[in-house]
Amino acid sequence: MAMVVFPGAFLSSAFQVIRERLASTDFKKRQITRFENTLDLLYEVLDDAEMKQYRVPRIKSWLVSLKHYVYELDQLLDVIATDAQQMGKIQRILSGFINQCQYRMEVLLMEMHQLTLKKELLGLKDITSGRYRVRVSQKLLRKFRTKSLIDESVMNGREHEKEELIKFLLSDIHSDNLAPIISIVGLMGMGKTTLAQLVYNDDMITEHFELKAWVNVPESFNLVSPTGLNLSSFHISTDNSEDFEILQHQFLQLLTGKKYLLVLDGVCKIDENTWEELQILLKCGSSGSKMIVTTHDKEVASIMRSTRLIHLKQLEESDSWSLFVRYAFQGRNVFEYPNLELIGKKIVEKCGGLPLALKTLGNLLLKKFSESEWIKVLETDLWRLPEGEIYINLLLRLSYLILPSNLKRCFAYCSIFPKGYELEKGELIKLWMAEGLLKCHKRDKSEQELGNEFFNHLVSISFFQQSVIMPLWADKYYFVMHDLVNDLAKSMAGKQPFLLEEYHKPRARHIWCCLDFEDGDRKLEYLHRCNGLRSLIVDAQGYGPHRFKISTVVQHNLFSRVKLLRMLSFSGCNLLLLDDGIRNLKLLRYLDLSHTEIASLPNSICMLYNLQTLLLEECFKLLELPTDFCKLISLRHLNLTGTHIKKMPTKIERLNNLEMLTDFVVGEQRGFDIKMLGKLNQLHGKLQISGLENVNDPAHAVAANLEDKEHLEDLSMSYNEWREMDGSVTEAQASVLEALQPNINLTSLTIKDYRGGSFPNWLGDRHLPNLVSLELLGCKIHSQLPPLGQFPSLKKCSISSCDGIEIIGTEFLGYNSSDVPFRSLETLRFENMAEWKEWLCLEGFPLLQKLCIKHCPKLKSALPQHLPSLQKLEIIDCQELAASIPKAANITELELKRCDDILINELPSKLKRIILCGTQVIQSTLEQILLNCAFLEELEVEDFFGPNLEWSSLDMCSCNSLRTLTITSWHSSSLPFPLHLFTNLNSLMLYDYPWLESFSGRQLPSNLCSLQIKKCPKLMASREEWGLFQLNSLKQFSVGDDLEILESFPEESLLPSTMKSLELTNCSNLRIINYKGLLHMTSLESLCIEDCPCLDSLPEEGLPSSLSTLSIHDCPLIKQKYQKEEGERWHTISHIPDVTIS
């Protein structure tokens, strides 16, 4: 089946759509014909104008004017179509509506006719015949779909640079105050980011560093807001933080004492003051930390005082050809195309050894085996050879120019996003829909399908690249545009979409509006002149009370002036109410109110007949939708995740265009039942149905028609409040669930709090052949689990709180099949199974990687014994389980807690992480671990109440890999082993060790970097005997003492001079911070004091001059004296860069 795309200029597809819309109006035929003739005259020179605009400024100006008139005409036709939905033809004539529109049409026609008269003066010609109007077959359009990715583990021509970079990162090079920096410098497109990514993902690097983080540096690099330094790279959430100082404190806590690798990618410019501020945050890591900086500016590397510089030069000819071939031929033998090889080498020659250009053009020519297509790329008049970035821009521009017209417009729309913005595929496609960019003449694809193809094509040509920071989050994939590509998008969009403060001319179409507390109202005044605005994203800056509030007054003024909006986002703003004036936005297609505190929606929102997407995610105060919600006849996407909607609006079944409905709540009253789902057969993706306890009639469940919803992938069915049920009600509920059989295409299923007599028949064997994930949660079944073992695709299975299950027998494996049970399962979890006693079906599970059994107090036997693929085993709170752990040679993580009867005949030799809890488990296991686990890196033991364990005579050389040791709630008077034998131990934590009295002799390892001692009163009493002063590797020390042992701390010469971080927590009797104990700590950077109510002052002599961070919390006497600006002693600490007192 063939499909038509528009291979011409940027506006070509818009012309086609406008012609269609003109034909559907009530205007006179003569007027329509005049318009069509004018459009034809302009259309025939579009391609020529687009090619020449970069050399002839007058042609570019001509195109800008044409684009403006096309937008105006499109908006006018949109208004006409919208009003036509609201009134009949006679009403429109009587109201004079057509006359008004005809006058505006005539004005536009006259303006566009003037442009046709300038064609010859500008030398524009018709070059659209033949090769520009091409009917593209489905076969040729395969290039739009995502294919297997090129292997980025190999980087042509950069082997030497890679080796140099890895050698530097693994070396013991260090600097006095900051992690050594290696800067990768080169022109844009030279492969700086790719090289850094290659090394960043290298296994040796991952093993060498405790913490890795990648930061895409924005153009505006500052530390005033979280956008200056992307703390999410370090898994620090900035969503709900009220104070950025708190975020910085979290950042310091995470980095302190850790050997980290930090990549700052794409640093365009940085001043010395900003860099000094950043250094304060980065000095707290341990020795061996490193930084990689990528930049096109040598001055940046100089300001950051880089230890080493790698300057990327153009690739050699052979490497350039190899890289080009990898992308253009992707596995095909280039020698099979000798004619293309000759042309290709000429194209490569003109690329000048620039990797980005080679990859871009390789992708561009992928699957094109026509000699004429390659020659066209070679001989285009855009091939000039200016130096540097201009040349690369020309190459990217060529890739853009060969895109289909409607895809060009989709790409240009992305210019609204700031550099470094994380694009989510699904949301971007919805935005394209709202802008009308996916409308296609005589298409055989839905807009969603076309959007997917377009997005995938932009990924395939590297215009979109998968995010390094957040590639996958909450089942969504995120992408970014390279800065160079972002610049290209802005250029192709005609400089229309910009930040509001940078661009607010009347012809602005798309604006990203950053509003702060102080001048948000002033900035919004700019919008009053933007009468043709089509997209507005409001980004409210600040936290809590200092965040700009989008009041109803602000909204009213806005809605009365920008009536042609198609897209509006208030996501994350301080928004409590939506103004009734929203009704003015008749053309609105996309409305995002996610993550706001809005409590209700005005009924006037139901007058937005064009609205396609309504996003209400995490609007936790929202309880209901408007009465006339069913009038939103164009609605396709409704996201209610995280709301507290109690029932669906009446007649929601009329919204038969819905493709996304995240939540459906079954109401108690008639008219709000599950039958309303019946006609919504276009639903895609994920659907959560709640309130199923309100469905009493199986016929209603049948009417919901789940079996015909073939596009649903993820289905959740849950029951809320439950009443005591007799047998008849239980049987009725079972019949209802039986009638809710989903479509066979389902890949994920959750059933929550079901209390019917048995599971439905469709939940077993081969009824759901595509099911990948299954969760049964809180299902009170008094029979048996469904036969899940023969689901061919099931990879993840979680069963929890199914209290009625006592025995899991052979029925769990499935019936009447010779296939291996659970042949695809990778993760299996049993949790909170209060009555489960026996597990009798132990065969199968050939691919199981993770087995977790938690809180099953009555389980006695047994466990599967042969699990060849198992990597992680967790058994927690199974006090009666008397079974042997599985024989699995590949286990690397083992967690055994409060399961004293578990049997361990032989420990897996590849264990890297072990957690043991409980006296008997520790007594029976710890010795084996010390003797046999040569690869063990992390050991945690807790809750030991037995006699002293002393294994000083053991040969513990096999534990040389141990790096982290945590001992918690150990009620013995001595350590179970001499710590100094763990030669590579760098982190030790002792918590709640009440009878331990001392570290005697050489019991602390010489390489220890971090030491935490909490609730160890006798040990703290002998602290001066530990010999800490001799541990030159110690960087972090944390002490917590709620037993009133400490009064003065630290003693003179207690801690080594190498200390960088000191933390005192919950020291209820601490009165003095000893200056003499701090005096020699010339490297101390961070001091944190928490919950010390008796401490009333800091040392009179001052704190170490090296200190950059001082955090004091819950110390009321200190807070009174040292409060910022107001306290009588504030001046003694005001010089410290980062001070937090709360």
Q: Is 250 a domain residue? A: yes
Q: Specify the pLDDT at position 990.
A: 92
Q: Is 855 a domain residue? A: no
For residue 137, give Cα distances in angstroms to 2, 148, 364, 452, 815.
5, 22, 18, 18, 47
User: Do 459 and 508 fall into the same domain?
Assistant: no
User: Do 294 and 345 fall into the same domain?
Assistant: no
DSSP notation for 453-501:
HHHHHHHHTTSSEE-SS-SEETTEEEEE--HHHHHHHHHHTTS--EETT
Residue 244 maps to which CATH number?
3.40.50.300
User: Do 1001 and 1123 fall into the same domain?
Assistant: yes
Q: Specify the pLDDT at position 338.
A: 80
Strand partners, 624: none
Domain boundary among 105, 136, 167: 136
User: Do 1040 and 1127 fall into the same domain?
Assistant: yes
The low-confidence residues of the chain, meaning pLDDT below 50, are 1-7, 89-90, 93-94, 129-151, 223-229, 238, 240-242, 381-391, 442, 497-498, 501-503, 953
CA distance 858 to 881: 8
CA distance 187 to 857: 63
Q: Is 714 a domain residue? A: no
Q: Is 732 a domain residue? A: no
Span 908-941, pLDDT tens digits: 888 999 999 988 888 888 878 877 788 889 999 9
Question: Does this model's pTM top 0.85?
Answer: no
Domain that holds residue 1105: 987-1141
What tokens appear for 65 in the block? Answer: 């004017």
Domain boundary among 401, 429, 451: 401
Task: State the amino acid at position 256 in one-letter form.
Answer: T
Q: Is 761 a domain residue? A: no
Q: What is the DSSP letter of 148?
A: P
Span 764-808, pLDDT tens digits: 767 899 999 999 999 887 778 899 998 999 999 999 999 889 999
Q: Specify the pLDDT at position 605.
A: 96
Residue 1015 maps to which CATH number?
3.80.10
Taking phi over 0 as left and psi of -120 to 50 as alpha, with beta for the rest, 784 belongs to beta
User: Do 637 and 518 fall into the same domain?
Assistant: yes
Q: Is 1119 a domain residue? A: yes
φ, ψ of residue 182 in degrees (nearest 5): -115, 125
Domain count, the chain: 6
Residue 193 makes CB contacts below 8 A (sequence gap 6+) with 265, 266, 294, 482
User: Do 356 and 419 fall into the same domain?
Assistant: no
- Its sign, for the CA torsion 488, 492, 495, 500, is negative
Domain boundary among 401, 421, 443: 401
CA distance 1032 to 1009: 9
User: Do 552 and 630 fall into the same domain?
Assistant: yes
Q: Specify the pLDDT at position 154.
A: 60
User: Do 251 and 320 fall into the same domain?
Assistant: no
For residue 1034, give Cα distances in angstroms to 16, 255, 740, 878.
71, 15, 62, 39
What tokens appear for 124 in the block? Answer: 């524009």
CA distance 937 to 984: 9
Q: Is 509 a domain residue? A: yes
Q: Is 935 a domain residue? A: no
CA distance 573 to 588: 19
In degrees, to the nearest 5, what angle opens at C-alpha 146 toward C-alphas 140 and 148? 110
User: Do 1026 and 1079 fall into the same domain?
Assistant: yes
Cα dihedral value 804, 810, 813, 818, nearest 10: -170
Residue 1128's CB: how many other CB atoms inside 10 A? 10
Q: Specify the pLDDT at position 128.
A: 56
User: Do 624 and 511 fall into the same domain?
Assistant: yes
User: Do 123 and 171 fall into the same domain?
Assistant: no
Residue environment code for 18-49, b if the CB has 16+ CB neighbours within 10 A, otherwise e? bbebbeebebeeeeeeebbebbebbbbbbbbb
Residue 133's CB: how many other CB atoms inside 10 A? 12
Span 826-858, pLDDT tens digits: 999 999 999 999 998 878 899 999 999 999 999
- Of 269, 199, 216, the closest CA to residue 423 belongs to 216
Strand duo 476-480 + 472-473: pairing = antiparallel
Strand partners, 685: 712
User: What own/partner pairs with CB < 8 Å and gap ≥ 24 does 492-500 have?
Assistant: 492/10, 492/397, 492/400, 492/408, 492/411, 492/412, 492/415, 493/412, 493/413, 493/415, 494/63, 494/64, 494/67, 496/415, 497/413, 497/415, 497/416, 497/535, 499/418, 500/526, 500/527
Taking phi over 0 as left and psi of -120 to 50 as alpha, with beta for the rest, 966 belongs to beta
Let me know: does 552 contact 577? Beta carbons within 8 Å: yes
Let me know: does 745 contact 770? Beta carbons within 8 Å: yes
For residue 532, give Cα distances in angstroms to 61, 64, 69.
19, 15, 11
CA-only gyration radius of the chain, Å:
34
Residue 756 makes CB contacts below 8 A (sequence gap 6+) with 730, 731, 733, 734, 736, 737, 781
Residue 449 maps to which CATH number?
1.10.10
Measure CA of the first residue to CA of the last residue in the chain; give whole Å. Answer: 68
User: Do 620 and 567 fall into the same domain?
Assistant: yes
CA distance 1046 to 480: 52
